[in-house]
Amino acid sequence: MRAMQVTEHNSPLALQTLDTPMPAAGEVQVQVATCGLNFGDTLLVKGSYQEKPALPFTPGMELAGTITAVGEGVEGLEIGQRVVAYSGIGGLAEYAVLSAKICVPLPDQMSFEDAAAFLITYGTSHLALGAKAGLLEGERLLVLGASGGVGLTAVELGHLMGAEVIACARGADRLAICAQKGADHLIDSDTQDIRETVKALGGADVVYDPIGGDQFKAAMRASNQGARLLPLGFASGEVPQIPANILLVKNMTVLGFYLGGFAKLNPKAMTQSIETLIGWYVEGKLKPHVSNVLPLEKANEGLDLLRTRQATGKVVVQVAS
């Protein structure tokens, strides 16, 4: 099978020919149709992610495809079934072997393209806003990096959960997409002062931040008493140092969230979240925004789109030809 692999950290992926893996007990073999790319994949390639697989390895944190073989003891899944999985690695290959426990059946209404754009972005936003921050109807939600993969789902879900959503992104074109997904207020981070603009709108009750750096600092100072802050990543390259005195004076809470760790900590909540989100998709309440679809051999171009923050929404690799 063909696979795009990390053979050396901080170098482009290499297209390799590998033996097709076979499932052991409790596993299934999936012919990969699509793989969703995430900013975490760029960190895996760089060697700076929370988890560091041994070299060489195949990145690709989420995949969708069709089961082609079933290991001993697997129940509830069968050959020919369409599934999606948060795999952690392995998605940028023509076949993947996965634990049957992490495979979620796909409804007929969901395309492989949408499925590969779904689990991590929507799962992160749904669990962070709901299970972690306890976002309430009528609260004011500030989303930084709102036109990116996870940010756009936070706008969409925040609107669906009844919040007043402030979307912060770079440029009119990106903000227009945020408005389409339900943002009530728009802030251009290139030209507007985030702190002053948010304060003028009444302050933020919940801050959703995959960016870090100066934007996090501005958002913190624009937050209301009792606000909850969700640092989800640091696309700016700067991990903010949080002043405890501001937390104290404003009675604020900082809630770290990492989907991979949460899935291990509370797998039941993860499963329930996926079921809820897929149900909303089937009902027409959610629609992933896929900005780029690339073939397997151009996966490096997809990663570059994420590194340079050029993508609006999700980048998907079409693995099956």
Residue 6 pLDDT grade (very low, low, confident, very high; cuts 50, 70, 90) = very high
Looking at residues 291-307, what average pLDDT do you find?
A: 96
Give the pLDDT score at 253: 97
Residue 212 pLDDT class (50, 70, 90 cuts): very high
The continuous run of DSSP H or E covering 227 comes out as strand 223-231
More confident residue, 49 or 138: 138
Residue 208 — pLDDT band, cuts 50, 70, 90?
A: very high
The answer to whether 165 touches 138, Cβ cutoff 8 Å, is no
Residue range 308-321: mean pLDDT, rounded: 89
Give the C-alpha separation, 313 to 321, whole Å.
23
Per-residue model confidence (pLDDT) at position 176? 96
Given a cut of 90, is residue 107 above it in pLDDT? yes
Q: Over 90: is that where the pLDDT of 225 sits?
A: yes
Which pair of tokens denotes residue 158? 């925040």
At 228 the pLDDT is 98
pLDDT digit string (tens) for 131-178? 999 999 999 999 999 998 899 999 999 999 999 999 999 999 999 999
Q: Domains in the chain, ordered, with CATH?
A: 2-118+288-318 (3.90.180.10), 121-260 (3.40.50.720)
pLDDT in tens, 260-295: 888 888 878 888 898 899 999 999 999 999 999 999
Looking at the predicted structure, is the pLDDT value of residue 115 above 90?
Answer: yes
Can you tell me the distance from the alpha carbon of 142 to that of 163, in angstroms, rounded to the nearest whole number? 10
Residue 312 predicted with pLDDT over 90 = no
Q: How confident is the model at residue 51 (pLDDT cuts 50, 70, 90)?
A: confident
DSSP secondary structure string, 18-56? -PPP---TTEEEEEEEEEEE-HHHHHHHHT-SSS-PPSS
Contact 213, 234 (CB under 8 A): yes
